[in-house]
């Protein structure tokens, strides 16, 4: 099956057989869910809404569900060293284990993907409690990551069976939805996973970047963006490219020990306010060289940027544009000690790209960080 998929024809056709409604939630497996919850609650302003653990009858793991508008994160850590979550954490550190997708029919989604070559993680199943029936099925994607299909149309509980509502006050920072989630895969595997998302998941190729577009003196990568039928779910796939020194993707793979989610990009409607608030709360962002801002007014001559360029410079926000408009974006430092997953904050004013015009400046900033870590 694997070889057939590598040999698969170029991505051309679109067949939206999954009918994904949205990203239901992103499930992180972490070393200490309680403290990770505190970080997302206090630093990012996510509201903790549900808990599962010993007190709710869950003897295996502690789990917190947090929400910021349309974004739902689940953070889990295990009670026992023999648990799968503990093994995952020992090998990979904190990371995204499941990207859960809301569908009409989990059996149909499972059948449609497995019959097209997906590896099963679990067959369609129902979990019940007094709030109804929670239906899921799951398949494997790159690395250890799963896509879980979720149907909560017959479920009225706060999240899923075994979870109980919790009451926490949160101060939101303006993060409203997931824009895209990027996967890092091994050298030579990008097209394999592009074909997987096309053939198995019915996604189409939105955009590709080659290594000469996104390389610096040292670090290079290749990237292709896959999107589902309604355009709500976008998964860029990165692979390392040959450079003089170690690609940022290789550094990720070295520390995560397997392909995995590189970053989650979240939408704000006011990036200046959001980034200012996140910085006040201790979130650290990458800073591109100052020369980026010296040439920015010239670069944006043709673009009617509404935001204050002085604030953009002060906060280290990046700007890119295309025929349809512009976008503002910024990238955090890694969220854990291993240089693995990070987040992006993005505000779109028409532009549908991913900031290719910023890649060079960004990679130079990243290389400085890699050098400080002794990983370049
Ligand atoms: Fe991104």
pLDDT (0 to 100) of residue 285: 97
| Structural domains of the chain, count | 2
Structure tokens at 130: 């007094």
Structure tokens at 158: 């706060």
Q: Report if residue 125 sits inside a domain.
A: yes
Rounded to an integer, what distance in angstroms lies between the CA atom of residue 44 and that of residue 269?
A: 15
Structure tokens at 134: 């929670």
Q: Report if residue 234 sits inside a domain.
A: yes
Structure tokens at 66: 């947090």
Domain that holds residue 360: 175-373
pLDDT (0 to 100) of residue 272: 98
pLDDT (0 to 100) of residue 195: 96
Residue 56 CA, ligand 1 centroid: distance in Å: 37
pLDDT (0 to 100) of residue 360: 81
Pair (315, 275) in one structural domain: yes
pLDDT (0 to 100) of residue 212: 59
Closest by CA to 15, choosing from 150, 148, 203, is 203
pLDDT (0 to 100) of residue 41: 98
Pair (161, 179) in one structural domain: no
Rounded to an integer, what distance in angstroms lies between the CA atom of residue 180 and that of residue 355?
A: 12
Pair (191, 65) in one structural domain: no
Predicted model pTM: 0.93
Residue 32 CA, ligand 1 centroid: distance in Å: 26
pLDDT (0 to 100) of residue 247: 86
pLDDT (0 to 100) of residue 368: 84
pLDDT (0 to 100) of residue 11: 46
CA-based radius of gyration for the chain: 20
Pair (96, 199) in one structural domain: no
Residue 265 CA, ligand 1 centroid: distance in Å: 5
Pairing status of strand 175-184 against strand 234-240: parallel
pLDDT (0 to 100) of residue 7: 40
pLDDT per 10-residue tile (average), the chain, 376 residues: 40 70 97 98 98 97 98 98 98 98 97 97 97 98 98 98 97 98 96 96 82 64 90 94 83 97 98 98 94 91 94 97 94 97 97 87 84 89
How many CB atoms neighbour CB 350 within 10 A? 12
Residue 355 CA, ligand 1 centroid: distance in Å: 8
pLDDT (0 to 100) of residue 110: 98
Pair (160, 220) in one structural domain: no
Pair (180, 286) in one structural domain: yes
Q: Report if residue 155 sits inside a domain.
A: yes
Q: Report if residue 225 sits inside a domain.
A: yes
Residue 354 CA, ligand 1 centroid: distance in Å: 6
Closest by CA to 349, choosing from 265, 269, 275, is 269
Residues lining ion ligand 1 (Cβ < 5 A) are 265, 344
Residue 140 CA, ligand 1 centroid: distance in Å: 22
Q: Which residue has the tokens 């398949």?
A: 139
pLDDT (0 to 100) of residue 213: 59
pLDDT (0 to 100) of residue 211: 58
pLDDT (0 to 100) of residue 242: 79
Instruction: Decide: 130 and 144 in contact? Cβ < 8 Å.
Output: no
Q: Report if residue 170 sits inside a domain.
A: no
Sign of the alpha-carbon torsion through 161, 162, 167, 168: negative
Q: Report if residue 339 sits inside a domain.
A: yes
């Amino acid at each position: 099956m694997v070889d057939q998929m590598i040999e698969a024809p170029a991505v051309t056709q679109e067949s939206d057989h999954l009918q994904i409604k949205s990203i239901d939630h992103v499930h992180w497996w972490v070393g200490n869910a309680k403290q990770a919850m505190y970080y997302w609650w206090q630093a990012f302003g996510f509201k903790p809404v549900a808990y599962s653990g010993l007190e709710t009858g869950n003897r295996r793991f502690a789990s917190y569900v947090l929400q910021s508008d349309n974004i739902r994160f689940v953070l889990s850590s295990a009670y026992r060293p023999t648990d799968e979550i503990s093994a995952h954490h020992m090998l990979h550190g904190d990371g995204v284990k499941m990207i859960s997708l809301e569908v009409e029919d989990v059996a149909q989604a499972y059948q449609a993907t497995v019959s097209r070559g997906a590896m099963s993680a679990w067959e369609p199943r129902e979990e019940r409690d007094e709030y109804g029936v929670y239906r899921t099925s799951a398949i494997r994607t790159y690395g250890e990551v799963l896509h879980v299909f979720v149907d909560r149309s017959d479920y009225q509980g706060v999240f899923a069976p075994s979870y109980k509502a919790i009451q926490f006050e949160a101060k939101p920072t303006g993060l409203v939805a997931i824009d895209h989630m990027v996967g890092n895969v091994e050298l030579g595997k990008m097209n394999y996973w592009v074909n997987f998302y096309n053939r198995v998941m019915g996604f189409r190729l939105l955009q590709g970047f080659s290594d000469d577009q996104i390389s610096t003196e040292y670090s290079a990568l290749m990237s292709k963006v896959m999107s589902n039928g309604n355009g709500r779910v976008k998964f860029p796939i990165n692979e390392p490219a040959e450079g003089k020194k170690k690609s940022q993707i290789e550094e990720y793979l070295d520390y995560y020990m397997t392909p995995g989610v590189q970053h989650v990009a979240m939408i704000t409607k006011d990036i200046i306010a959001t980034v200012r608030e996140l910085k006040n709360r201790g979130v650290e962002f990458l800073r591109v060289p100052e020369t980026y801002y010296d040439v920015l007014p010239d670069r944006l001559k043709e673009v009617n940027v509404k935001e204050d360029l002085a604030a953009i410079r002060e906060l280290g926000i990046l700007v890119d544009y295309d025929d349809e408009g512009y976008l503002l974006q910024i990238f955090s430092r890694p969220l854990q000690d291993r240089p693995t997953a990070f987040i992006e904050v993005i505000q779109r004013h028409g532009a549908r790209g991913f900031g290719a015009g910023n890649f060079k400046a960004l990679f130079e900033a990243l290389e400085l960080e890699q050098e400080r870590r002794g990983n370049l």
